[in-house]
């Protein structure tokens, strides 16, 4: 049976100086005018965590920053 561990990381809005994210009154959400370096910064976080075996589940954007939800499979040895 597969098992997972989960982790939530916080990334302060100061790390994303030009990331603009908004939701309309109809709850349509979009990224607007995101400079390439900001996308690269997010990719770096994702790739570093991915190399450590973590899979990104979801990102949540808020006024104070970003929450990232991760999971990683736990490898356990079965008794013989």
Task: Return the domain boundaries, the chain.
Answer: 3-74
Q: What is the mean pLDDT of residues 44-65?
A: 89
3-state secondary structure of 63: coil
Residue 52 pLDDT more than 80?
yes
CB atoms within 10 A of CB 37: 9
Q: What is the pTM of this model?
A: 0.69
Tell the residue number behind the tokens 């899979």, with chain if given. 55
Q: What is the mean pLDDT of residues 16-39?
A: 62
CB atoms within 10 A of CB 29: 10
Backbone φ and ψ for 52, nearest 5 degrees, come out as -90, 5
């Amino acid at each position: 049976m597969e098992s997972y561990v989960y982790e939530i990381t916080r990334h302060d809005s100061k790390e994303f100086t030009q990331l603009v994210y908004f939701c309309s009154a109809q709850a349509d959400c979009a990224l607007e005018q995101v400079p390439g370096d900001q996308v690269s910064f997010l990719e770096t976080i994702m790739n570093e965590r991915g190399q450590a075996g973590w899979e990104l589940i979801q990102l949540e954007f808020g006024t104070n920053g970003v929450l990232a939800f991760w999971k990683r499979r736990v490898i356990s040895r079965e008794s013989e």
